[in-house]
Amino acid sequence: MRLKAVQPYLRGEEMFLANYSAGVSDLPLPAMVYFMEAARGGGLFRRRRALRHYHLAASRTTAG
């Protein structure tokens, strides 16, 4: 639905990029665009394994 919302602003554009990430990546954007142009593809999905860090903490309140 979000991509449909921007469709009127993309008329006449050959390509547009969308990001569904909640993070930052060091993917080589020029290489990805070149790959899409060479493949004449309709879409490209690139997945990278996310680094996950979990921290657990417990506390106990004592009456005193």
Task: Give the pair of three-digit tokens for residue 35.
Answer: 């790959």
pTM score of the predicted model = 0.48
Residue 22 Cα to chain centre, angstroms:
6
pLDDT digits (tens, 9 = 90+) for 7-20: 899 899 888 888 77
What residue numbers bound the domain in which 35 lies? 26-52
Domain total of the chain: 1
pLDDT at 29 over 70: yes
Integer Cα distance of 17 and 4 in angstroms: 13
Identity of the amino acid at 24: V
Within a domain: residue 3? no
Within a domain: residue 30? yes
Instruction: Quickly state the pLDDT bin for 39 (edges 50, 70, 90).
Output: confident
Within a domain: residue 46? yes
